[in-house]
Amino acid sequence: MEDLTQERTKILKEIENQKALSVKTTDSEIQTDNDEREEIVQVNNQLKDALQTFKDKIKRVVTERPDLFDNIDEETSEQLEHLISTIENQAKEIVVLHAQRDQIEEQLQNEIKELKR
């Protein structure tokens, strides 16, 4: 009978240890989930701030230069798309102007050589 009592006591202690481990694991899992959630919330807030900054800058450009946005809706995304398109077009024009300048410069160099002869 004593052996059974000792065995029973031993089993009850093991069960208690398992419960304690289970509670600790659950607490750490909850803490990990909370940490991950907090990190996601912080990143989300940073993204919201960045988006708001873009919106504010676009609105400032629209206010200061409304002529750039003729026939453009008040949607920020459309205004941004229009700005990007305008910049791309200007970049293409700059390339063309550089090529024309290089061509004129070459012509002038040839004329200078001719005049020196």
Weakly modelled stretches of the chain, pLDDT under 70: 1-4, 12, 19-31
How would DSSP label each residue in 37-94? HHHHHHHHHHHHHHHHHHHHHHHHHHHH-GGGGTT--S-HHHHHHHHHHHHHHHHHHH
pLDDT at 21: 58
pLDDT at 50: 92
pLDDT at 103: 96
